[in-house]
Chains A and B, each alone.
Chain A
Amino acid sequence: MDDVRIIEIKKSVFEDNDRDADALRRELKGKGVYLLNLMSSPGSGKTTTLIQTINLLKDKLKIAVMEADIDGDVDARKIREATGIESIQLHTGGMCHLDAEMTRQGLDGLTLRDTDLVILENVGNLVCPAEFDTGAARNAMILSVPEGHDKPLKYPLMFSICDVVIINKMDVAPYFDFDLEQCKEYIRMRNPRAKVLPICAKTGEGVDAFAQWILDEVTAWKRQS
């Protein structure tokens, strides 16, 4: 006769990761290292935006970059060549996101001597990275004009966890009937606290506002650590 024993678990699949992420955030704070998690769809301009931003900040802050991709090391090399800062590639082993443990392993591969700011370019995807806390101090995302102004309605979780939403490729807005005001309204519905920054990473227009936000954030973080 088969008798079935039931063992109750009732545990969220994200619970362990959330705990690891909180521990990592505390450790980084103790070291005075500010970790920024940057997310977006593939090709929305993360690497281009980072290059512009780093070039505005590299005299004021010691910066390192971790590029997370499923494969390849194009982006890490691009950042190194265009800015001269330390930049490493993380491979996710086929996974669609980075979790806190993978982020920690990535950080172990950096020198982190006197580093003020580490920027993580997460895997290009608007769904999965939103569910896995990496241990970053803050989350930022890029929405690019060709993706359309209705994205906050379709990917509410991503928009609700980001402190900054960059709207990139503003130069092509006229070709895509992109309605910036409508987009801001949709973002506000999902996340009233999010700061919205329209930029053109290609020319660098508007990137100074993002750089300033980072500088203020890092300064405040170090004061508390």
Chain B
Amino acid sequence: MHELGIVFYIIRDVKQAAEENGVDHVSAVVMNIGEVSTVVPDYLTDCWRWAADKEPLLKGCELKVHIIPAVTHCDGCGREYETVRYGRTCPHCQSEQTWLLRGNEVEIKEIEVTNTT
């Protein structure tokens, strides 16, 4: 249960941010999840629902997932390409001297707080 572990880390960080900002209920948490990070978004949101509802701060709080497309940079020709489609080998020059530019993120982007007035 990889995703459940991640959810506990998210809850800990969100609690801390809420405290620093004097917030007593969070309505949404927005995540940046890289396409080639090992996190499966559906599992993550399932685990989130189960764990978040146990916390008064996060009861009913929605987890929104932004997928960050994975991009690889090629040192051979200096160009970039879609990681998921082409893997490690550059489609422009066939070089294998390539590295992941982005797409590995498991990051809390922001939290949303709704004030009903």
Inter-subunit contact B5/A128 (CB<8 Å): yes
Contacts of A8 in B (CB 8 A): 109-110
Contacts of B4 in A (CB 8 A): 94-95
Query: Residue A157 at the B interface, CB < 8 A?
Result: yes
A58 to B91 CA separation, bound complex (whole angstroms): 52
Nearest-CB residue, chain B, relative to A95: B5
Query: Residue B93 at the A interface, CB < 8 A?
Result: no
Query: Residue B73 at the A interface, CB < 8 A?
Result: no
89-106 of chain A: CB within 8 A of chain B: 94-97
- Identify which of A7, A12, A95, A189 contacts B23 (C-beta below 8 A): A7
Contacts of B115 in A (CB 8 A): 2-5
1-41 of chain B: CB within 8 A of chain A: 1-2, 4-6, 9-10, 12-14, 17, 21, 23, 27, 38
Chain B residues bordering chain A, tally (CB within 8 A): 30
Nearest-CB residue, chain A, relative to B27: A4
Most chain B CB neighbours (cut-off 10 Å) among A1, A2, A6, A13: A13
Chain B nearest CB from A29 CB (Å) reads 26
Chain B nearest CB from A148 CB (Å) reads 18
Given A5-B115, A7-B17, A7-B113: A13 in contact with B1 (beta carbons within 8 A): no
Contacts of A14 in B (CB 8 A): 9, 106
Task: Tell me what chain A mostly uses at the interface: helix, strand, loop, or mixed.
Answer: mixed
Inter-subunit contact A1/B117 (CB<8 Å): yes
Given A2-B116, A131-B38: A7 in contact with B9 (beta carbons within 8 A): no
24 residue pairs from A and B, CB less than 8 Å apart: A1-B117, A2-B116, A3-B115, A4-B27, A4-B113, A5-B114, A7-B112, A8-B109, A10-B107, A10-B108, A11-B108, A12-B107, A13-B106, A13-B107, A16-B9, A17-B9, A95-B1, A96-B2, A97-B2, A127-B2, A127-B38, A128-B2, A128-B5, A131-B38
Given A13-B13, A95-B1, A127-B38: A4 in contact with B112 (beta carbons within 8 A): yes
A157 to B21 CA separation, bound complex (whole angstroms): 36
A157 to B36 CA separation, bound complex (whole angstroms): 11
A127 to B106 CA separation, bound complex (whole angstroms): 14
